[in-house]
C-alpha cells in the first residue's frame, strides 16, 4: 500500500507556500519547522532561499496554467477565455501572491515562462479585439499589462478582505472591459 504522507520535498514546498503566503519574510527554519523536517533536510532539497523561491515560482506558473486550461476547456471565444482565466487564477493568489514581490525576472527559466505567458495573453487579447471585446485602437501591450496588474490588484484585494475571489474577478473584468472596451475609445495620439 502506498503511503499518503508527502515526501519531505513536497512537504517543504507545501509548507513554504503556506508560510510565505502568511509572512513573506519568514525564514527557512520556519518553513522547515512547518514541514516537519530539519533545516539539513530542507538544504538537501534546496540550496537556499533563492532556490526554493525559484521552485515555488515554477510550480505557481504550472498551477496557474492548469487552472486556466481547465477553466477554458471547450471555450471558443477569446474574450470568454480571458474572463474565465481571471476567474481561475484569482483564487490562486491566496497561495501565490507573495511571489509577485520576489525578484524573479533574472532567472532565465522564469523569464522564459513570463515571456510565454505574456505572448499567449497578447494573442488572446488580439483575438478578443477582433471579437469586439476591446477597442481596436487600444494597444495590445497596454491591455496585457492592465490585465496582469488587475490580477495582482485582485489578489491584494482578496488578501486584505476587501473582496471575495468572485467579486475581485468581476471587478477586474469590468475594469478591463469598461475601460478598454470596444465602444467609443478615441485613438491614442
In the chain, what are the domain boundaries? 1-46, 60-180
Task: Give the angle 22-68-135 at the CA atoms, nearest 5°.
Answer: 110
Per-residue confidence in pLDDT tens, the chain, 189 aa: 555 778 999 999 999 999 999 999 999 999 999 999 999 999 999 999 999 999 999 999 999 999 999 999 999 999 999 999 999 999 999 888 888 888 888 899 999 999 999 999 999 999 999 999 999 999 999 999 999 999 999 999 999 999 999 999 999 999 999 988 765 444 444
- Classify the phi-psi angles of 79: left when phi > 0, otherwise alpha if psi is within -120 to 50, otherwise beta: alpha
Q: Domain 60-180 in CATH: superfamily? A: Tetracycline Repressor, domain 2 (1.10.357.10)
Q: How far is CA 31 from the centre of its chain?
A: 22
1-46: CATH number: 1.10.10
Rounded to the nearest angstrom, the gap between the alpha carbon of residue 67 and the centroid of all alpha carbons in its chain is 10
pTM of the model: 0.85
Amino acid at each position: 500500500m502506498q503511503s499518503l504522507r508527502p515526501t519531505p520535498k513536497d512537504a517543504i514546498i507545501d509548507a513554504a507556500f503556506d508560510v510565505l503566503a502568511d509572512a513573506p519574510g519568514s525564514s527557512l527554519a520556519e518553513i522547515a519547522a512547518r514541514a516537519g523536517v530539519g533545516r539539513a533536510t530542507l538544504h538537501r532539497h534546496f540550496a537556499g532561499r533563492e532556490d526554493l523561491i525559484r521552485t515555488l515560482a515554477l510550480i505557481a506558473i504550472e498551477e496557474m496554467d492548469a487552472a486556466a486550461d481547465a477553466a477554458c476547456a471547450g471555450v471558443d471565444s477569446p474574450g470568454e477565455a480571458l474572463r474565465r482565466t481571471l476567474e481561475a487564477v484569482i483564487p490562486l493568489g491566496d497561495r501565490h501572491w507573495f511571489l509577485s514581490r520576489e525578484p524573479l525576472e533574472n532567472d532565465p527559466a522564469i523569464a522564459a515562462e513570463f515571456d510565454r505567458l505574456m505572448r499567449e495573453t497578447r494573442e488572446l487579447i488580439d483575438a478578443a479585439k477582433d471579437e469586439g471585446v476591446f477597442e481596436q485602437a487600444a494597444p495590445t501591450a497596454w491591455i496585457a499589462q492592465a490585465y496582469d496588474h488587475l490580477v495582482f490588484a485582485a489578489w491584494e484585494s482578496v488578501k486584505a478582505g476587501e473582496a471575495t475571489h468572485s467579486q475581485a474577478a468581476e471587478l477586474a473584468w469590468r475594469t478591463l472591459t469598461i475601460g478598454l472596451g470596444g465602444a467609443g475609445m478615441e485613438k491614442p495620439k
